[in-house]
Amino acid sequence: MEKISKVSRIIRKLYYIIFIENFSKKISYNFPPNYFRWDLIKYLHEKYKFNSYLEIGCDKNQLFSRININKKFGVDPSSGGNIRKTSDEFFKDNKDTFDLVFIDGLHEYTQVKKDILNSLKFLNKNGLILVHDCLPESMSKQAVPRYRMLWNGDVWKAIVDLRQDENIEIYTCEMDQGIGVIQNKKNTSILQISKKIKELKFKDFYKNHKEYMRTISIKDLQEKF
């Protein structure tokens, strides 16, 4: 986890509010209080019997230690997992393929998009990619540069970007900070927006997040997967 001094947090916050956006409304999600990313993976694993798992960004192995899949790779440049590299370094030399990938590394749009596209290249047929932190509740929780501890980053922009690709199918499950569910197949609901990704603000997300992210409940997800 990046350590940011109090002074630099204040400077970054002022910078964001003055030059990028100042929007105070919050989104209230109905995330179930007792259903987390490991519960979703357990559900999917019981159904699909995955043989291989890749986690990008492992931190203290909060999730990685709960994964009960034969072949598991955890990539993190600082802590946890079993491969001490950045995701870019890992993918550069990687030859393995995976049934399930969980993306939770650097939570910035460009990196998340790269992590998703690289994961798609190494995804087995009928494999799944999950992306953590897709549904921020406030402007501050998604601000880049980061200025607070509890932070989702602008992961949501990578989802909005790729929801416009006709060959990537994406939903976002309303649970545990928002989990993107991605498949390598024809997009059955292509998103069309007029703004460029770099022009999008939290205010746009606030108004359109259901459509942008194609949000579904856990119940809906369990009917589809």
Ligand X SMILES: C[S@@+](CC[C@H](N)C(=O)[O-])C[C@H]1O[C@@H](n2cnc3c(N)ncnc32)[C@H](O)[C@@H]1O
Instruction: Report the interface residues with ligand X, using CB under 6 A.
Output: 1, 37, 55-59, 62-63, 75-79, 86-87, 104-106, 111
Smallest gap from Cβ 2 to ligand X, in A, equals 8
For residue 77, cis peptide bond before it (omega within 30 degrees of 0): no
The four Cα atoms 62, 68, 72, 75 give a dihedral, to 10 degrees, of -10
Q: CA angle 133-11-24, nearest 5°?
A: 50
Smallest gap from Cβ 100 to ligand X, in A, equals 13
Nearer to ligand X, 104 or 174 (CB): 104
Question: In the structure, how many helices (H) and strands (E) does the chain have?
Answer: 8, 7
Nearer to ligand X, 157 or 191 (CB): 157
Smallest gap from Cβ 210 to ligand X, in A, equals 25
**How far is the CA of 63 from the CAs of 42, 58, 139, 164, 184, in angstroms?**
11, 7, 26, 30, 24
Closest residue to ligand X using C-beta atoms: 57
Nearer to ligand X, 182 or 191 (CB): 182
Smallest gap from Cβ 28 to ligand X, in A, equals 23
Nearer to ligand X, 87 or 172 (CB): 87
Residues in the chain: 225
Give start and end residues of each alpha helix (H) in the chain.
Answer: 6-15, 37-48, 87-93, 109-121, 139-142, 155-162, 202-213, 218-224
Nearer to ligand X, 105 or 178 (CB): 105
Handedness of CA 42, 29, 26, 206 (dihedral sign): positive
Strand bridging mode 52-56 / 98-103:
parallel
Smallest gap from Cβ 8 to ligand X, in A, equals 18
Tokens of 221: 């997800």
21 Cβ contact list (under 8 Å, min separation 6): 139, 201, 202, 203
Smallest gap from Cβ 58 to ligand X, in A, equals 5
Nearer to ligand X, 86 or 172 (CB): 86
